[in-house]
Amino acid sequence: MTLKSEIQVAQLSELSDSDRQLVDLAIEATSRSYAPYSHFCVGASILLENGVTIMGCNQENAAFPAGICAERSAIFAAGAQYPDQAVVALAITARNTKGELIDEPASPCGPCRQVLIETETRFKRPVRILLYGKNRTFIVDSIKQLMPLSFTEF
């Protein structure tokens, strides 16, 4: 037996209105990024169960580990403002050092994946994830597709 991950590959034109709006919000969030060190501006957007959307973006710091990724900035902002609302979907994109939207999707780092696993466990609901690049968008129905066999205490 083999366990396999499922990742859908789509063009922007193939997305539903709801997915497209979330991607547009992630693109908007890139312009709020504070990335004076890497100049890689990551934007994230979250759709909550109550329909509210939240933006996040990477926030860097001269003491490097003190900064935070766009994904966690959005998830933690959502947790602080709407602690009882499940996260339904998350979109992520970025601008490169030239300020252009990335051609290929950027994928969440390890710690962000671990936080997404816990978000799904916490709300007992999978998070749809859209990774947008100009050439293609990767879509998964749960972080488990990007992080199989993950650590969880519960």
Positions that interact with ligand THU (CB under 6 A): 35, 38, 40, 42, 58, 60, 67, 69-71, 108-109, 112
Smallest distance from ligand THU to CB 84, Å:
26
Q: How far lies 136's CA from each of 8, 16, 36, 105, in Å?
A: 10, 15, 27, 7
Query: Is residue 71 annotated as a catalytic residue, yes or no?
Result: yes
Identity of the residue, 47 or 70, whose beta carbon is nearer to ligand THU in the bound complex: 70
| CA 129/CA 20 separation, integer angstroms | 12
| CA 45/CA 56 separation, integer angstroms | 6
Identity of the residue, 40 or 76, whose beta carbon is nearer to ligand THU in the bound complex: 40
| CA 140/CA 143 separation, integer angstroms | 7
The separation between the first and the last C-alpha atoms of the chain, rounded to the nearest angstrom, is 26
Smallest distance from ligand THU to CB 53, Å:
18
Smallest distance from ligand THU to CB 115, Å:
11
Tracing tokens 């339904």 back to the chain, one arrives at 88
State the catalytic residue, choosing from 49, 60, 71, 104: 71
* Cβ neighbourhood burial of 124 (10 Å; 0-12, 13-18, 19+): exposed
Smallest distance from ligand THU to CB 3, Å:
24
Identity of the residue, 9 or 109, whose beta carbon is nearer to ligand THU in the bound complex: 109
Identity of the residue, 38 or 81, whose beta carbon is nearer to ligand THU in the bound complex: 38
Q: Which residues are catalytic?
A: 71
